[in-house]
Structure 1
Amino acid sequence: MKVLVVGSGGREHALVRTLASSPRKPELLCAPGNAGTARLARNLPVKATDLDGLVSCARAERPDLTVIGPEAPLCAGLTDALEAEGLAVFGPSKEAARLEGSKIFAKEIMQAAGVPTARAESFDDPAAACACLREHGAPVVVKADGLAAGKGVTVCASIDEAERAVREALEEKRFGDAGGCVLIEDCLRGEEASILALTDGETVVPLASSQDHKRAYDGDRGPNTGGMGAYSPAPVVSEDVWRRVMDDIYRPTLAELRRRGIRYKGVLYAGLMIEHGRPRVVEFNCRFGDPETQVVLPRLDSDLLPALQACVDGDLASVEPQWKSEACVCVVMASGGYPGPYEKGLPIEGLNAAEEAGTIVFHAGTDADPEGRVVTAGGRVLGVTALGATLKTAVASAYRGAGKISWDHAFYRTDIAHRELEREEP
């Protein structure tokens, strides 16, 4: 069996690594991949945003299954284009992917389905948006409507900060077309958690819970990023919360999509805020989360490949994933300056030492230079990941591995999983 994974980040490395362990022993391709996927798959020199190139590549390679990692090609319609070639694809259609591609559309779906979420209003006029802010008061959340690589959400403690976020999006075009409209949204209180669920459009199979860390610096300070680390499981997701997530969020959302003639196949990510055991949706993503995938998949104790295939075939009811009891922690190592401008091409030292210490090093923004050295090629460069009998031991192991890796101006948060570790302290 031949499987093509589209993307070049840590999520795609985690998918490739997990698929490589399948008893079915698939032949793996990754487009474009990175220095980590190159050890397990045949990297193809086609960018994930090059839809024509990916279609041509898939037409030539004829993969039995294509797994699309990033949101951009999903929202641009890669699934539809590949299916038109008669190929099996794990990933939602362009219309279904609007759940991530447009926060306004996602909010409309949730409101129609009665899904618990924050109140919000949308604006394309800065003056009207700022007038709403002054009436609303702080704290408040300003969100760019479209895809902004995890950086289009600003949680504002003051009206001045909120007005600045509105102007950056609508007037300064910081996010390009993605910021042509903004949502002004109530600021939800509670603790965040992430749920990834497989679906064939009817059946929903949740994966293990996790918690992401969005802010750049320790203590949840600094700008939002694509994610600076994660851990799994997230104990804040109790059995009762699981039931509410399935009954009040996933099933009504998929039913509303079906009512509109949209059948969602793939993975649906729900970013949640949980307060007093009540989950509310912060956002939907139309793909595996990053870095959540890097802590969820290492805990999987069953074959991922048939589960993905079942989503495509509409046979997900036959799938029941099995999980390891261990906790998993991922520490993201980033380039200096991220999520702002950063330097590329810096040699990375200590990768072998980190892996020999028992950690899994997922490559996110890496490449190989002409001399064959692994070098930085992105903002989030590596996800140093470890399993442990307890969360505390997993955290210690992940940081031990991260401490063995270096490049100029590298940085990482030193407090991943701090909320749960603080709760565990006597």
Structure 2
Amino acid sequence: MKVLIVGKGGREHALAWKTSESPLVNKVYVAPGNPGTSKFCENINIKDNDIEALVAFAKKEKIDLTIVGPETTLALGIVDVFQENDLKIFGPKKSVARLESSKDFAKKIMEKYNIPTGSYKTFYNLEEAKLYVEEKGAPIVIKEDGLKAGKGVTVALTKKEALEALEIAFGIPDNKVVIEEYLDGFEFSLIALAHEDKIIPLEVGQDHKRVFNGDKGPNTGGMGVYSPVKRVTDDVIKDSVEKIIRPTLRGLQKEGLPFTGFIFAGIMDTAEGVKTIEFNVRFGDPEAEAILPRMKSDLVQLILDIMENKETVVDWSKETSCGVVLASEGYPSSSSKNAEIIIPEDVKSLIFHMGTREEKGKLYTDGGRVLIVVGKGENLEEAKEKAYIDVKKINCSKLFYRDDIGDKDLI
């Protein structure tokens, strides 16, 4: 088989790495890929939003399966166009991708089909939104409606913080804002392969959204992750599948919007049970970088099986993985580029590239989140220790990281 991975970040690096292990696959292309994927796949110089060029490439090379990484590409409708050209692709159509590209749409689906989530209201102007915050008080959650690359969400612990977030959100023309009830509990990520009403749930991960230690500072795309999560029991996972993911997929089907692809549920385990924070319509990033290294099963075979409605079970390593993100100075409000990165040869952890570029054999920063270092061990303590040993070996003057990834599961 020939497989095409669309995207250029750490998630796509992890997907390409896992796909290249499949005995079914003899060639993996990544468009556009990154310096990490170039070591074992063929990078194709096509941007992940150039759907016409991606279709032309897939036709020319007779690609057997395309796996889409970025949510922006899915929101543009790549799946619709590939299917119109009789090309096999794993991901949801544009109309279904609204589950992530519109927080308002997602909340309406959850409300209609009784998916447990926080109460909410959608606003189109600043003054009404401010009045609502004054009425409800804090803590409260402010979410800009569209795709915001893991940002655009403010968990406001004070009314002042909420009102400031609204000023910023409504400073963007035609912006729509969802204001949600603050949910208290333990947050985790559950990702499943899905096709219509078929589900293959994966083992869970715990992302660290805030930029600084102790979950302080603004939200980011994710500063670190570990898997599995001891605090999330089998019963909680079962509840999440049966009360959140399965009824959501069935609800979408009833709406004439059958889902195919990776469905990601950000879930809060509250005193009242599991509740949905958000849905994504692709593999999480950085969750992919911690979960896929623990998967012993063939990812490509799993995708083919679910698309053909076959029953299957995923085989997992008992090891724990812990991933630490190295981000650019100033992230998430800005990022530094062109700072040289030196990765010594004695690094033993897996390293996935998130925002790098290579020039004349040298590696440079090229984005907000730059690298993720993933340690593996018999338990979380060992995996974390291995990851941080290697993080400290990487030399770059413009990178920073949290040093508490995994601590919340070590309590």
Which TM-score band (shorter chain)? over 0.9
Instruction: Quote the residue 2:295 is aligned against.
Output: 300
Q: CA contact under 8 A between 1:90 and 1:309: conserved in structure 2?
A: no
- For structure 1, the 5+ residue unaligned runs are none
- What is the 5 A alignment of 1:300-319? 300-313=295-308, 315=309, 317-319=310-312
Residue deviations 1:69-101, cap 9 Å, x none? Answer: 010010110111111111000111111111001
- Equivalent in the alignment of 2:10: 10
Aligned CA-pair RMSD: 1.2
2:222 matched residue in structure 1 = 227
Q: Deviation digits for residues 281-333 of structure 1, max 9, x if unmatched?
A: 000000000000111000001111111122333x2x42211000011100000
Residue identity in the other structure for 2:368: G
Summarize deviations over 1:8-59 as a string: whole Å, max 9, x none: 0000000111111112233000000000000111101111122222223223
Spell out the pairing of 1:4-403 with structure 2 (5 A cutoff). Answer: 4-170=4-170, 172-173=171-172, 180-276=175-271, 278-313=273-308, 315=309, 317-354=310-347, 358-369=348-359, 371-403=360-392
1:238 maps to a residue whose letter is T
Aligned length: 411
Q: Which amino acid aligns with 2:349?
A: T
Segment of structure 1 superposing worse, 74-83 or 281-290: 74-83
Once the two structures are TM-superposed, the CA of residue 61 in structure 1 deviates from its matched residue by 2.2
Q: Is the 8 A contact 1:241 1:277 kept in 2?
A: no
1:224, 1:333 → 2: CA distance?
15
- Larger mean CA deviation between 223-232 and 246-255 belongs to 246-255
Q: Which runs of 5+ in 2 are unaligned?
A: none
Deviation at 1:195, TM superposition (A): 0.2
Alpha-carbon distance in structure 2 between the residues aligned to 1:312 and 1:45: 29
- Using the TM superposition, give the Cα deviation of residue 169 of structure 1 relative to its aligned residue in structure 2, in angstroms: 1.0
What is the identity, as a one-letter code, of the residue corresponding to 1:37?
A: T
Q: Counterpart amino acid of 1:336?
A: E
User: Does the 8 A contact of 1:240 with 1:277 survive in 2?
Assistant: no
Task: Report how far residue 277 of structure 1 moved.
Answer: 7.2
The answer (yes or no) to whether the contact 1:89–1:312 under 8 Å persists in 2 is no
Amino acid at match of 2:179: I
- Asked if the contact 2:337/2:365 (under 8 Å) is kept, the reply is yes
Say which SS state the counterpart of residue 345 (structure 1) adopts.
strand
Equivalent-residue separation in structure 2 for 1:74 and 1:25 (angstroms): 24
Deviation at 1:351, TM superposition (A): 4.5
TM-score by length of 1: 0.94
The aligned amino acid for 1:13 is H
CA shift in 2, pair 1:195/1:337, >3 Å: same
Is contact 1:96–1:262 with CA below 8 Å preserved after alignment? yes
Task: Tell me the distance in 1 between the aligned counterparts of 2:330 and 2:182.
Answer: 28
Which stretches of structure 1, 4 residues or longer, exceed 4 Å deviation after superposition?
Answer: none
Give the equivalent residue in structure 2 for 1:407.
396
Q: Determine the C-alpha separation between the residues in 2 that align with 1:397 and 1:134.
A: 47
CA distance in 1, matches of 2:196, 2:372: 31
Distance in 1 (CA, whole Å) between partners of 2:116 and 2:235 is 15
What is the Cα deviation at residue 242 of structure 1? Answer: 1.6
Cα distance in 2 for residues equivalent to 1:25 and 1:126? 52
Tell me if the contact between 2:226 and 2:406 (Cα under 8 Å) persists in the aligned partners.
yes
Q: 1-side partners of 2:88 and 2:112: how far apart?
A: 31
Question: d(CA) in 2 for partners of 1:311 and 1:286?
Answer: 16
Structure 2 CA distance for partners of 1:277 and 1:402, relative to 1, 3 Å: farther
SS across alignment from 1:141: strand
Contact 2:336–2:398, Cα closer than 8 Å, also in 1 = no
Q: Given that residues 134 and 159 in structure 1 are in contact (C-alpha distance below 8 angstroms), is that contact kept between their aligned partners in structure 2?
A: yes
In structure 1, give the amino acid aligned to 2:321.
Answer: C
Percent identical among aligned pairs is 42
Higher fraction of strand:
2
Distance between the aligned counterparts of 2:272 and 2:344, measured in 1? Answer: 41
Q: How far apart, CA to CA, are the structure 1 residues paired with 2:395 and 2:142?
A: 36
